[in-house]
Amino acid sequence: MALPKMTRVRQHFDAPVLTDLPAAIHEELDQINVASIVRPGDTVAITAGSRGVANVATAVKETVEYLKGIDAKPFVVPAMGSHGGATADGQRTVLEHYGITEDTVGAPVKATMDVVELGSLQQAGADDLPVFMDRFAAEADHVVPLNRIKAHTDFNGSIESGLMKMMVIGLGKQEGANFYHRAFFQYGFEHVITAAGSFILDSGKIAFGLGLIENAHEDTAKAVAMTADNLLQTERQLLVKAKSMMGKLPFDELDLLIVDWSGKNISGTGMDTNVIGRMMQNFEPEPLKPAILRIFVRDLTEESDGNATGIGLADFTTTRLVDKIDRHATYMNGITALGPQKSKIPFYYDTDKEVIEVALDTIGLTKPENARVIRIESTLRLTELDISEALLEDAQLHSSLEIMGETLPFEFDTTGNLLPFSTETH
């Protein structure tokens, strides 16, 4: 079979960087006049999550210092649903991994899986939906949700991953996370998060929020403090900004996307669903773009420890990836997230060459050598990518793309596998 030839290109993203995060946080907290909200002696629970947010330890530390400067009594609570093995010690360990300890941030870390039921959501448009909150947070005078605001991998909406979700699912701990994930089937993700989050805002527990947004290179681009009464509206605005800066493929219609690495350290779903245009979520519609006919995932990262969640988002993979799968970890993740369909094992073959040939034999009338193909290292690394000849003319007209090298055939080793992405010569 004649395969398409490939060319290395570089994407140039709009990637502003916040160079002085501590100063920005203090300025933001001054602007919303935190001293008029939090009084001397008040206890304040600051949330910290389980995702790898850039500079999160610094953001928590500076918020702690600011609150201590007005004689408040801040402490940190893990807000990560059932993550960390659904134990208090496990969640404390997750925060330690991200550099958040009493010594590093200057405030106690109080971890518990116990929750308090704040009320129910009958008046918010959904029957019999209880609203839970971490016991330590509920006992504090105030709660400060601190998190990155970004696109979610399970749904599209005006509110996705950010402060509202952290208030509802993160502070809901295992009991809340499990309940809300089931509620999504009846009411939809955005409705549940918005209704339960608004209930928490109306309770008066939230003093203010601190939202961080990142650029396509995962650097902190902006930090914004918001009062409780403006939190929902501000988060919606920041989500639009965050989406405008996220990494994405330069073309919306492809015959084949080759992804070198999938893994939990790349995305909770192995591959970022916003990049590949596939969510496979029961209670949400599929994205319209990008429209990718076939996806081939080559391997699983070592950091995933065999958790191949999201492999079902692909059409094809390799025997070497399948041999790395820890069925227990993968199945448990799929059951907890109520998304077993995302982890079904695709067609798999012994070599990359076999997969590419089979994949290009399933794209309709388009000849394989004329296929629209992109190869990426992972959905997290989109600055450099390989594109097929069919995309080259469009790439030359694309203002954010730079042609890096000559057009060459796919390079396979003696076993029929592609050479590593980073060491290919173009």
In 3-state terms, the chain is what percent helix, strand and coil (to 5)? 40, 25, 40
Alpha-helical runs (H) found in 106-249 = 135-139, 163-165, 173-187, 189-202, 231-245
Q: If 0-12 CB within 10 Å is exposed, 13-18 middle and 19+ buried, where does residue 52 land?
A: exposed
Say whether pLDDT at 426 is over 70.
no
Answer yes or no: are the C-beta atoms of 376 and 382 closer than 8 Å: yes
Q: What is the pLDDT of residues 251-285, one digit of tens each?
A: 999 999 999 999 988 888 999 999 999 999 887 88
CATH number for the domain including 182?
3.40.50.11440
Residues 323, 348 within the same domain? yes
pLDDT at 200: 97
Residues 374, 274, 354, 393: what is their CA dihedral angle, to the nearest 10 degrees?
A: -20
Say whether pLDDT at 125 is over 60.
no
Structural domain including 341 reads: 5-13+248-423
Mean per-residue pLDDT, 72-100: 90
Mean per-residue pLDDT, 45-49: 95
Residues 86, 218 within the same domain? yes
Say whether pLDDT at 53 is over 70.
yes
pLDDT at 127: 62
Does residue 177 sit within a domain? Answer: yes
Nearest CA among 146, 134, 139, 142 for reference residue 47: 146
Give the whole-number percent of the chain exceeding pLDDT 70.
98
Does residue 80 sit within a domain? Answer: yes
Q: If 0-12 CB within 10 Å is exposed, 13-18 middle and 19+ buried, where does residue 125 land?
A: exposed
Last residue of a domain, one of 191, 225, 245: 245
Residues 6 or more apart in contact with residue 347 via CB below 8 angstroms: 315, 316, 317, 358
Residues 281, 241 within the same domain? no
Last residue of a domain, one of 215, 245, 275: 245
Residues 137, 151 within the same domain? yes
Residues 304, 405 within the same domain? yes
Residues 255, 376 within the same domain? yes
Does residue 79 sit within a domain? Answer: yes
Residues 10, 11, 14, 19: what is their CA dihedral angle, to the nearest 10 degrees?
A: -40
pLDDT at 423: 44
Residues 342, 202 within the same domain? no
Q: What is the pLDDT of residues 147-192, one digit of tens each?
A: 999 988 888 889 999 999 999 999 999 899 889 888 888 888 899 9
Does residue 23 sit within a domain? Answer: no
Residues 214, 360 within the same domain? no
Residues 231, 263 within the same domain? no
Say whether pLDDT at 424 is over 50.
no
Last residue of a domain, one of 245, 279, 307: 245
Residues 229, 365 within the same domain? no
Residues 6 or more apart in contact with residue 126 via CB below 8 angstroms: 183, 186, 187, 191, 192, 195
Residues 211, 74 within the same domain? yes
Query: Hey, what are 96's tokens?
Result: 């330690």
Residues 21-33, buried b or exposed e (16+ Cβ, 10 A)?
Answer: beebbbebbeebe
Nearest CA among 339, 343, 297, 342 for reference residue 321: 297
Does residue 82 sit within a domain? Answer: yes
Mean of all residue pLDDT scores within the chain: 93
Does residue 152 sit within a domain? Answer: yes
Does residue 21 sit within a domain? Answer: no
Q: What is the pLDDT of residues 300-356, one digit of tens each?
A: 999 888 999 999 999 999 999 999 999 988 998 888 788 899 999 999 999 999 999
pLDDT at 123: 45
Does residue 402 sit within a domain? Answer: yes
Residues 80, 225 within the same domain? yes
pLDDT at 405: 87
Query: What domain count does the chain have?
Result: 2
